[in-house]
Amino acid sequence: MTEPATDAPYIALKAVQKGFKIGAEAVPIFTALDLTIPRGDFVAIMGPSGSGKSTLLNMLAGIDSPDGGELRIGSARLDRMGEGARSSWRAHSMGIVFQFYNLLPMLTAAENVELPLLLKPLAARDRRARVEKVLDLVGLSGRGGQYPALMSGGEQQRVGIARAIVSDPALLLCDEPTGDLDRKSAGGVLEMLRFLNRKLGKTIVMVTHDPRAASCARRTLHLDKGQFLEERRAA
């Protein structure tokens, strides 16, 4: 879904609060988290284990909601939406790339990529054309009939990326996209993410422990003790 161009930040968190209950004890993760990301940015989020990176990504994905504060993505106020509205927003507005690909093993690569399109009013022929186009884009032309188990980790992650972009979302969220890959395959996946950002204008937020992955982003934010501590903007 294309939204009108605006100077307002694409993603804006204002004084976001989030915590979890462990037994009777409330454990705060964020008490007042602020973050702004302009459209077309590529942000890497790093930080120690337990600092809340996945919690943040889950809120950006609309999987989880803040306990307080404001969370805006484009024109959507995610903090004001119920679960149903968030899940429909998710289907139209963003794609997610997972560390362990999350492909369904009983479906072919093409069928995995096609899944998000089944929620849309598209004819089977149009769905297949879109699937072929994105498989081609990620360098897997002609491989759609293969099952994930017969593909390398790097190829499976490319299928994961194809599935994340098949609906043409403006936002791509990546959770440790190179965490399960060898150096060479990781390089290929990072090159693909850079292409999606630089050439197709996707806004990307990537959680990673891998400094090489972070160096592909335009900005790196370090999350620690509920705050972003430092920031590096690539030249």
Ligand X SMILES: Nc1ncnc2c1ncn2[C@@H]1O[C@H](COP(=O)(O)OP(=O)(O)OP(=O)(O)O)[C@@H](O)[C@H]1O
Residue numbers of the site for ligand X (CB under 6 A)? Answer: 20, 22, 29, 47, 49-55
Place of tokens 């592909």: 216
List residues bridging with 171 in a β-sheet.
94, 203
Output the smallest distance, CB 30 to ligand X, in A.
Answer: 9
Q: Which is nearer to ligand X, 58 or 146 (CB)?
A: 58
Q: Which is nearer to ligand X, 13 or 159 (CB)?
A: 13
Tell me which amino acid residue 53 is: K
- Determine the Cα–Cα distance for residues 204 and 182; give it in Å rounded to an integer: 22
Output the smallest distance, CB 179 to ligand X, in A.
Answer: 10
Q: Which is nearer to ligand X, 53 or 202 (CB)?
A: 53
Three-state DSSP state, 115: helix
Closest listed residue to residue 56, CA positions, set 35, 85, 42, 41 = 35
Q: Which is nearer to ligand X, 51 or 185 (CB)?
A: 51
Q: Which is nearer to ligand X, 55 or 156 (CB)?
A: 55
List residues bridging with 220 in a β-sheet.
44, 232
- Determine the Cα–Cα distance for residues 75 and 88; give it in Å rounded to an integer: 14
Which run of H or of E encompasses 127? helix 124-137
User: Structure tokens of 221?
Assistant: 């934010």
Output the smallest distance, CB 66 to ligand X, in A.
Answer: 13
Q: How many helices (H) and strands (E) does the chain have?
A: 7, 10
Output the smallest distance, CB 175 to ligand X, in A.
Answer: 8
Output the smallest distance, CB 21 to ligand X, in A.
Answer: 7
Ordered strands of the 203-207 beta sheet: 94-97, 171-175, 203-207, 42-46, 219-224, 227-233
Q: Which is nearer to ligand X, 100 or 195 (CB)?
A: 100
Output the smallest distance, CB 162 to ligand X, in A.
Answer: 25
